[in-house]
């Protein structure tokens, strides 16, 4: 069985150096989006941020929920919780309805509004690195161990051990152990989580109910519109694909004609045009 991975972020250890932010930018080849990393916000070009809140530095990134609402509302299965932990995105399936953005209780997925063929963007828990047996880029560079990568179960044990060892220091809770049914990203803090900007009003169970509430709030014309947009996108894509194939076929024929023209024609053989016209 694949062991599920995760991250443990401990706000008492974070010094706000921004190395995790920079490593994420580098790993995902994302451009600079702020003059100072502490000023940046999550966007289609920024998958994690470090904020100063409640007198502490705190990270924000996709929580990689155990039962992700973003995936359960997606009508085409473009988001998927994988066995090793990452919630990944299949851009080729996405029809751009953006239900995932509406449904995420942490406000994580962002949309490439400026692009002709926009995608949803978010942290993927460095899924390719995990598959290669490596830690996430952000955890690898963290100089203090504030962001720690490991097996989710072992991280939970470690978080419990820290709470036991320093009961006066920590808020007696592992954030992400139960919220919305549990998350692969876990948090520890010595100040209340709401002061760090984390919601403490979330249900302990997964949010299938929310899924239906969200879908009920979406008027039919939006659903019809999304399907239409999806159809238009498919037709446009298909047309481009057909044009590309036609162009390739034309080029292939032209180069065949040119190379055939240079060859001496054996006596009694078929002409080039005969060959081109044959099935």
User: Under rule CB under 6 A, how many of the chain's residues touch ligand SF4?
Assistant: 43
Among residues 49, 78, 146, 196, the one that binds ligand SF4 under rule CB under 6 A:
146
> Least distance (Å) from ligand SF4 to the CB of residue 81?
7
Q: Does 20 bind ligand SF4 (CB under 6 A)?
A: yes
DSSP string, the chain: -PPPEEEEEETTT-----HHHHHHHHHTTPPP--SSGGG---BTTBS-EEEEETTEEEEE----BSS-HHHHH-TT--EEE-TTS-EEE-TTT--S--HHHHH-TT---EE-TTSSS--EE---TTHHHHHTT---HHHHH-SSSSEEEEEHHHHHHHHHHHHHH-TTTS-S--BTSSGGG-BSEEEE-SS-GGGGT--S---SS--HHHHHHHHHHS-HHHHHHHHHHHHHHHHHHHHHHHHHHHHHHHHHHHHHHHHHHHSPPPTTPPPHHHHHH--
Instruction: Note whether 210 and 199 are within 8 A (CB).
Output: no
Instruction: Note whether 69 and 30 are within 8 A (CB).
Output: no
99 to 138: interface string for ligand SF4, x by CB under 6 A: -----x-x-xx------------xxxxx---------xxx
> Least distance (Å) from ligand SF4 to the CB of residue 92?
19
> Least distance (Å) from ligand SF4 to the CB of residue 212?
15
Which is nearer to ligand SF4, 146 or 156 (by Cβ)? 146
Q: Does 189 bind ligand SF4 (CB under 6 A)?
A: no
Q: Does 97 bind ligand SF4 (CB under 6 A)?
A: no
Scanning 67-75, 156-164, 190-198, 258-266 for contacts with ligand SF4 by CB under 6 A, the matching segment is: 67-75
Residue matched to tokens 């044959």: 278
Q: Does 15 bind ligand SF4 (CB under 6 A)?
A: yes
Q: Does 8 bind ligand SF4 (CB under 6 A)?
A: no
Q: Does 68 bind ligand SF4 (CB under 6 A)?
A: yes
Which is nearer to ligand SF4, 102 or 260 (by Cβ)? 102
Scanning 144-152, 187-195, 242-250, 270-278 for contacts with ligand SF4 by CB under 6 A, the matching segment is: 144-152
Which is nearer to ligand SF4, 5 or 156 (by Cβ)? 5
Instruction: Note whether 54 and 196 are within 8 A (CB).
Output: yes
Q: Does 85 bind ligand SF4 (CB under 6 A)?
A: no
What residues line the site for ligand SF4 (CB under 6 A)?
A: 14-20, 23-24, 27-28, 47-48, 50, 57, 59, 61-65, 68-70, 87, 104, 106, 108-109, 122-126, 136-138, 141-144, 146-147
């Amino acid at each position: 069985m694949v062991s599920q991975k995760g991250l443990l972020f401990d706000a008492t250890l974070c010094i706000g150096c921004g190395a995790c932010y920079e490593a994420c930018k580098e790993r995902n080849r994302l451009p600079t989006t702020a003059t100072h990393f502490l000023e940046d916000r999550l966007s289609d070009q920024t998958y994690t941020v470090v904020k100063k809140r409640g007198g502490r530095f705190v990270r924000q990134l996709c929580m990689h929920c155990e039962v992700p609402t973003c995936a359960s509302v997606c009508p085409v299965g473009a988001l998927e919780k994988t066995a090793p932990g990452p919630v990944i995105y299949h851009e080729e399936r996405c029809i751009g309805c953006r239900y995932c953005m509406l449904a995420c209780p942490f406000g994580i997925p962002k949309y490439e509004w400026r692009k002709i063929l926009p995608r949803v963007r978010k942290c993927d828990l460095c899924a390719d690195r995990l598959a290669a047996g490596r830690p996430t880029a952000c955890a690898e560079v963290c100089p203090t161990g504030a962001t720690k990568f490991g097996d989710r179960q072992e991280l939970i044990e470690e978080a419990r051990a820290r709470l036991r060892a320093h009961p006066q220091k920590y808020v007696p809770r592992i954030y992400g152990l139960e919220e919305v049914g549990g998350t692969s990203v876990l948090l520890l803090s010595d100040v209340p989580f709401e002061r760090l900007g984390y919601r403490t009003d979330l249900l302990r169970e997964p949010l299938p109910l929310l899924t239906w509430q969200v879908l009920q709030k979406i008027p039919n014309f939006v659903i019809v519109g999304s399907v239409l947009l999806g159809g238009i996108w498919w037709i446009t894509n298909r047309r481009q694909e057909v044009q590309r194939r036609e162009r390739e076929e034309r080029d292939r024929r032209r180069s065949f004609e040119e190379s055939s023209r240079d060859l001496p024609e054996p006596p009694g053989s078929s002409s080039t045009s005969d060959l081109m016209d044959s099935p």
